[in-house]
Structure 1
Amino acid sequence: MNIDTSTFNSIYSTYKEPALKHRRFKHQDIDSLLRVHKNNGTLAIDQIGKSFEGRAIYEVAFGKGEKKVMLWSQMHGDEPTATMALFDLFNFLEGKQDGYEEIRKLLNDKLEIHFIPMLNPDGAERYQRRTAQGIDMNRDARAGQTVEGALLRARAQAIKPQYGFNLHDQSIYYNVPGTKNPVTISLLAPAFNEPREINSVRENAMKIAGGMNEILQKYIPDAVAKYDDTYTPRGFGDNFQSWDASTVLIESGGMKGDPEKQEIRKLNFIIILNALVQIAEGSYAQFDKQQYEDIPFNASQLHDIVIRNITISSDSTSFKTDLAIRRNETTIGRDFFVRGKIEDIGDLKESIGYEEIDVEGLQFIPAKTSTVTISNVAQLTTQQSFDLLKQGFMAVQVKEVGATKEKALHNLPIHLFTQTNFYLPITADFGGMANFFIGDKSGNLKYAVMNGYLIDLTKGLDNSTLLKNRVN
C-alpha cells in the first residue's frame, strides 16, 4: 500500500486532535480525551496501573492481528510531542466512511497494537523529565525501581511484542552534521548488547527506521539524524530490543518557527502510521539496513543565536569575538518563561544559530534601567516597550504584578522587576544573562539581545517572535 504525502496530509488535517494545542498539557487533559474514546467503542482502553502519586496510566489497544506492536510515549514528562500525535492517530483509527477504510482494515486485521500514551503523568504534571521519585524512568528497565517503569516492563512481558516504538523529545540544539539544519527527527535502532551487534531483530528495526527516513526526506530533507547508539543496559529501548521486539526510538527535535512542536507532531503521526502500515504488510523488508546506517549521527553545534565578530570593550582592553546564546525554559503551570544566557564565547566558527548575525564593526553596549516606575504591567504596551528599547532601556520597575504566578508572565520586549534593583550586565560573561545592546562606537543602537531574544531595532517588532518573560 503506497500512501503519498498528499494523502498523509489530508488524513492528518482531518484527524488532528484540537484539544491538544500546546506542549504543557496535563494528565487530566488526556484522561478526559480517553474517556471520550472509550465511549466511542472502537479502541479498547484500560487502566493498567497508577503512577507513584496515584494518577491513572492507560493502555489503548486496537486490532486483532498476529503481529503485536507496543508504543509508549512521555516516559519523560517534558517530552510530549509524540503523545499529541498518538491522540491524532486514535482519532484516525476511529474514523468511518472517509475513504481510508482500507488502511484501518489492514491495521486491524494484521496487527494487535498497544499504546501507552502518557507513561509518566507525575512528570507531565510538573513538565519535568523525571518521575515524582526523581528517577529517570528510561534508566529503570533493569531494576524497576519506579512503579511506572515496572509497569512498562510487566506489560512487555505480558504482551510479548514483536515490534516496539519508544517515543521521546530530544534537545532542540542538535544539528545534522555538515549542515546548519536543526535535527527535526532522530531515529535509532537501539543496541541490544555492548558490541552493538546486528541480529535479525535489530536489523528489522533498522529497516523500519529506513522506511521512516524515506518519507521524512519528503517533508524535511536533510533534517533527520541518528541518536547515539551506545548500549545502555538500563534503557528501555535497548532492553526491548533484547526482548526480541524490533524497536525504533523516535526523538522529536527542533524546527525553526515551531516552538510548540505542532509541525513535528504531524511528522510523528505520519511516520508512525506509515511504519504501522509497513509492519502490517511486511513491506519494511524492502529497505536495507545500510539505508539506516547512512543516516548521520546527531551533532551538537546549534544555539538559539550566534553573534559573530562583536567587539567587547572595558576600561583597558578591547577584543573581537563570537557569542553563542541559548534560552532555558522554566515551567509555571501550563505556561513558561525563558532565561537567555551566554552559552559560549570565543572562536565559534563551527557553531550554528537558529538566528545568526555578523556584527563586524559593532560593539557590545550595556543596557540601562529606566528611571520611570509604572504601577502595573497593563500600563505598558508592546510598542512602548519597544520604544524604550530603542532608547537603550531594557528594564522598568513595576509596583504591582498580580495575585497569581501566571500574572507574573508577560510577552513584552522588556524586563519588568519589582525589587529595588535589577542587575543588567556591564560586559559579556560566559554563563551570564544575555541582556545587552549592539551598536556602533557612537552609541547608535542596532540590535537588542533581550533575555536571549534577538531584536532588530531598525525594524518594527517581529510579531512572529513570541517572547516568554516574567516579572522579576
Structure 2
Amino acid sequence: MKKLQFLPIFFLLFSFGLSAQQEFYKELYEKYPDYKEEDVKQRRFTHDLVVDLIAKQEKNSYFRINKVGESIEGRSLNLLSIGSGKIDVLLWSQMHGDESTATMALFDIFNFLNSEDFKTEKDVMLKEVTLHFLPMLNPDGAEKFQRRNALGIDLNRDALRLQSPESKTLKMVRDSLDADFGFNLHDQSRYYNAEGTNKPASISYLAPAYNYEKSINEVRGNAMKLIVIMNNIIQNYAPGQVGRYNDDFEPRAFGDNIQKWGTSTILIESGGYPNDPEKQEIRKLNFVSILAAIFAIAEEDYKTIAISEYESIPQNDSRLYDLKLTEVTYELLGNEYILDLGMNHREVPGNTPQEYFYRAYVADRGDLSTNYAYKSKELSGYKLSSGRVYPEILKDLEAVEKLDFNKLLEQAYAYVQVENLPENEHFTDYPVNLVTPNFKVAEDISHSFFLEKDGKPEYAVINGFLVKTDEELSAVENALILRQ
C-alpha cells in the first residue's frame, strides 16, 4: 500500500473493500451540483464557449494549458494537463461534433479538481497520475452540431491516413505522451438498450479490440478491468442502464489503434435517459465514472479485477423507440388489422446552432413484442384514424392563439390552415400542426393521427407525442409547420 500517511479515504477503500468505495463515490455523486459547470447547460454549444471555459482554468496555476493544433477552419485545439505522476492518462472528447455530453462532464471535472473538496485524496492521486484533457477535438463539426468535420470526414475513421489536422493532433498528443491510459468519449443513439431489458443503455463501455481476432493482452485487459469498476459505480445510480458496445475491430478507428499502440483505451458512449433530452443526468454519470476510473488507476485497484466480470456486462441492443403503441386496430381496403407502432423523433436543426425541433416518423410497425420504448401504451380496442384538417382558414398566429385546442383534438383535428405562416419556421409550440391552405393529409400512417374508441377520439398522436384529447396538452413538445 503506497503512501499510507496521506490516504485516510483510500485506507478505508482497501480495509473495507467495495462498500467503502461505493460510499466515497456516493459522496462525489451527491456533491456533483457543487462542481457542475453552469455556463453550459445544453448539448449544443460551440468552440467559443469552450475557449471561454478553458480561459477560466488559467486562473488555476495547477493546470498547464497548451494549444496543440488547429482545426481545418482554424479553431484552436487545446490540451489541459494537471498532475505530476508517472502514469499519463489522456482524455479526448467530441471527436464527433454532435457528441458533446462528455465535453460538459470534463468541465465539471475541472471544477472538481479546482475545488477544496477531497483535497488530500486529489493531491495523492495527482502525485500518481498526470491527466491530459483534449476537449472538443472537432470544433468545426460542433459549430454546426454535425458528426463530421469541415472536410466532411469522420475523424474516427482517420487514424491511419491522418488527412485531417484534428486527427494529426490527436495522434501527435498520444505519441508524445506515450499515454498509459486513454478515454475516448462519445455519444451513441438513445435507441440502444441494454440487451434483454427495456432499459436504455444510458452509458455503454468498450475496451476496443486491436485486431480482428479480438485478442486480449495486458493493455486491453487493463481497460476491461477499469470498465468493471466504472460499471459497478454506475449501477448504483442507473441500475441496469449500462451496455457493452460492439467490439468488432475497425482498422481505421482511433480507439482500436490507440489500443494497438499500447495505450489501455476505454470507450465511453453516452446514450439515452428518460426525460433527459439535454443529457444532464448522463453528464453526471460520466463525471462520477471517469473520476472513479482515474482514482482506480492511481491506486492500481483495477489490477485485482477479473476480466470475466467485463464479459458479464450486457451488450448493446437496438430495440428502443420513443413511443410504442400496441394492438392498435388499423383499417386498410375494408379489412381490419392489429398493429403495434414504434415511433421515433428525429432532431432537426433550427435557425440557430442551439435550436432544434423534433420531427416524428414511424420507425416500424407490426409485431413489436420484442421491442421497448421510453413511453408505451396498450391500445387494444382502439381504432386508428387519420388526423383531420380544420376547415376554417385562419389569417395568422394571433387567430391560432384563440383556438380551444382540446376541443379541436376531441373532434380529431390535427391540422390547422393558416394563410400567413412565419417564414423560415418549421415547428410550433401549439399542440396542433399548422399548414398552408388546401393541405392534404397523407393516406398512410404518419406522424399525427387519432385513436378512437366507440367512435370517440380519446387519444391524439401529434408529431409522435401521445396525449389524451381532454387533458393537459403540454406533452406535445412541438408540432410541425407544413407547407404544401
Could you tell me the TM-score, scaled by structure 2's length? Answer: 0.91
Map 1:283-322; keep pairs closer than 5 Å.
283-322=301-340
Aligned partner letter, 2:173: R
Aligned partner letter, 1:73: S
Structure 1: distance between partners of 2:67 and 2:267: 25
Task: Note closer, same or farther for the CA distance 1:174–1:382 as it changes in structure 2 (3 Å cut).
Answer: farther
Is 1:68 aligned to residue 88 of structure 2?
yes
Map 1:51-450; keep pairs closer than 5 Å.
51-96=71-116, 98=117, 100-332=118-350, 333=352, 334-377=354-397, 379-381=399-401, 384-402=404-422, 405=424, 408-417=426-435, 419-428=436-445, 433-442=446-455, 444-450=456-462
Structure 1: distance between partners of 2:129 and 2:365: 53
Identity of aligned residues (%): 39
Task: Note closer, same or farther for the CA distance 1:39–1:383 as it changes in structure 2 (3 Å cut).
Answer: farther
Task: Note closer, same or farther for the CA distance 1:438–1:282 as it changes in structure 2 (3 Å cut).
Answer: same
SS in 1 for 2:404: helix
1:456 counterpart (455, 461, 468): 468
Q: CA RMSD in A?
A: 1.8
Task: Note closer, same or farther for the CA distance 1:315–1:196 as it changes in structure 2 (3 Å cut).
Answer: closer
Task: Note closer, same or farther for the CA distance 1:215–1:466 as it changes in structure 2 (3 Å cut).
Answer: farther
Asked if the contact 2:106–2:287 (Cα under 8 Å) also holds between the matched residues in 1, the reply is: yes
Asked if the contact 1:165–1:248 (Cα under 8 Å) also holds between the matched residues in 2, the reply is: yes
Asked if the contact 1:312–1:427 (Cα under 8 Å) also holds between the matched residues in 2, the reply is: no
Structure 2: distance between partners of 1:28 and 1:384: 43
Asked if the contact 2:25–2:292 (Cα under 8 Å) also holds between the matched residues in 1, the reply is: no
SS in 2 for 1:191: coil
Aligned partner letter, 1:141: A
Structure 1: distance between partners of 2:310 and 2:207: 9
How far is the alpha carbon of 1:265 from its aligned partner? 0.3
Asked if the contact 2:406–2:471 (Cα under 8 Å) also holds between the matched residues in 1, the reply is: no
Aligned partner letter, 1:387: K
Asked if the contact 2:203–2:268 (Cα under 8 Å) also holds between the matched residues in 1, the reply is: yes
Task: Note closer, same or farther for the CA distance 1:160–1:453 as it changes in structure 2 (3 Å cut).
Answer: same
When structure 1 is superposed on structure 2, of 210-219 and 350-359 the one drifting more is 350-359
Structure 1: distance between partners of 2:102 and 2:407: 41
Structure 1: distance between partners of 2:92 and 2:28: 22
How far is the alpha carbon of 1:6 from its aligned partner? 3.4
How far is the alpha carbon of 1:468 from its aligned partner? 3.4
Task: Note closer, same or farther for the CA distance 1:50–1:382 as it changes in structure 2 (3 Å cut).
Answer: farther
Structure 2: distance between partners of 1:212 and 1:423: 53
Residue 477 of structure 2 is matched in structure 1 by 467
Asked if the contact 2:419–2:437 (Cα under 8 Å) also holds between the matched residues in 1, the reply is: no
1:337-374: CA deviations, max 9, x gaps?
11111111111111111111111111111111112334
How far is the alpha carbon of 1:402 from its aligned partner? 4.6
Asked if the contact 2:359–2:480 (Cα under 8 Å) also holds between the matched residues in 1, the reply is: no
SS in 2 for 1:365: strand
Structure 2: distance between partners of 1:376 and 1:40: 54
Aligned partner letter, 1:426: E
Residue 36 of structure 1 is matched in structure 2 by 56
Q: How many residue pairs align between the two structures? A: 460
When structure 1 is superposed on structure 2, of 450-459 and 256-265 the one drifting more is 450-459
Task: Note closer, same or farther for the CA distance 1:4–1:459 as it changes in structure 2 (3 Å cut).
Answer: farther
Structure 2: distance between partners of 1:467 and 1:423: 23
Asked if the contact 1:106–1:277 (Cα under 8 Å) also holds between the matched residues in 2, the reply is: no
Structure 1: distance between partners of 2:244 and 2:417: 47
Asked if the contact 2:88–2:177 (Cα under 8 Å) also holds between the matched residues in 1, the reply is: yes
How far is the alpha carbon of 1:169 from its aligned partner? 0.5
Asked if the contact 1:401–1:408 (Cα under 8 Å) also holds between the matched residues in 2, the reply is: no
SS in 2 for 1:40: coil
SS in 1 for 2:317: coil
SS in 1 for 2:344: strand
Structure 1: distance between partners of 2:371 and 2:41: 32
Task: Note closer, same or farther for the CA distance 1:470–1:323 as it changes in structure 2 (3 Å cut).
Answer: closer
Task: Note closer, same or farther for the CA distance 1:93–1:358 as it changes in structure 2 (3 Å cut).
Answer: same
Structure 2: distance between partners of 1:211 and 1:177: 20
How far is the alpha carbon of 1:12 from its aligned partner? 1.1
How far is the alpha carbon of 1:274 from its aligned partner? 0.9
Query: Which runs of no fewer than 5 residues in structure 1 stay unpaired?
Result: none
Structure 2: distance between partners of 1:137 and 1:382: 50
Aligned partner letter, 1:468: N
Asked if the contact 2:207–2:223 (Cα under 8 Å) also holds between the matched residues in 1, the reply is: yes
How far is the alpha carbon of 1:383 from its aligned partner? 7.9
Asked if the contact 1:410–1:471 (Cα under 8 Å) also holds between the matched residues in 2, the reply is: yes
Asked if the contact 2:62–2:83 (Cα under 8 Å) also holds between the matched residues in 1, the reply is: no
Structure 2: distance between partners of 1:45 and 1:302: 41
Could you tell me the TM-score, scaled by structure 1's length? Answer: 0.93
Structure 1: distance between partners of 2:99 and 2:476: 21
Structure 1: distance between partners of 2:168 and 2:188: 23
Task: Note closer, same or farther for the CA distance 1:360–1:76 as it changes in structure 2 (3 Å cut).
Answer: same
Structure 1: distance between partners of 2:218 and 2:115: 35
Asked if the contact 2:387–2:413 (Cα under 8 Å) also holds between the matched residues in 1, the reply is: yes
Structure 2: distance between partners of 1:383 and 1:59: 55
Query: Which runs of no fewer than 5 residues in structure 2 stay unpaired?
Result: 1-9, 11-20
